[in-house]
Amino acid sequence: MVIALIYLVAVSLTVGALAGWAANDIHTSPSFATGRTLQDAARSTAELAIQNIRYAPLLGAAQTLNASPPSYCWGSGPTSSLTIDGYTMSSWCTTAWNPTSAQTRVVTISTCKSTVSAAACSAQPLLAVVVTYDDYPPGGAAPISGSCLLWSWCGEGQTINSWVWS
């Protein structure tokens, strides 16, 4: 009888805990989904910036070379934005360029909601990515002396140095 009573109490506590957990999960699921969707939009925008800046370095006047605040990462400006699941995100890029180094370009990409300015985004990005590109010609030839040409040797190698969420 005592064992049956203990078993009944244990079952009651377990069922009560599961019911509470399920109810709580139902209430918090939309919050998790919203956060996940925002992160997906930021990640996708940063990945688009990584691939675009890889092959089109934007090292000209008023572009990404030592840009402070950072500049657009793709296209012809003034912003690099992408809308995913209702979130419009912008990525901003600044490039440190050393054509005679194995680390030809080190690009810092800051991604935020599109309502955030480039300066504010670079100071406190939702997602900050630092990527190193190797623009050496294939086969280990000598480094190029100038900017790589679109789709020629741009981004022969790519290393993501950091991927940091705020």
Confidence of residue 149 (pLDDT cuts 50, 70, 90): low
Token readout for 70 is: 């950072």
Taking the alpha carbons of 137, 150, 104, 125 in that order, is the dihedral positive or negative? negative
In whole angstroms, what is the distance from residue 24 CA to residue 138 CA?
56
154 pLDDT higher than 90? no
Q: What is the 3-state secondary structure (H, E, C) of 92-118?
A: EEEEEECCCCCCCEEEEEEEEECCCCH
CB atoms within 10 A of CB 83: 11
Residue 6 one-letter amino acid = I
* For residues 86-112, average pLDDT: 93
Best mean pLDDT range from 48-57, 120-129, 134-143? 120-129
CA-nearest of 78, 39, 72, 68 to 58 is 72
Q: Which residues of 112-138 are buried (b: 16+ CB within 10 A; e: fewer)?
A: bbbebebeebbeebbbbbebbbbbbee
- What's the pLDDT at 111? 98
Backbone angles phi, psi at 50, to 5 degrees: -60, -45
| Host H or E run for residue 156 | none
Confidence of residue 34 (pLDDT cuts 50, 70, 90): low
Give this prediction's pTM: 0.76
Arithmetic mean of pLDDT over the chain? 82
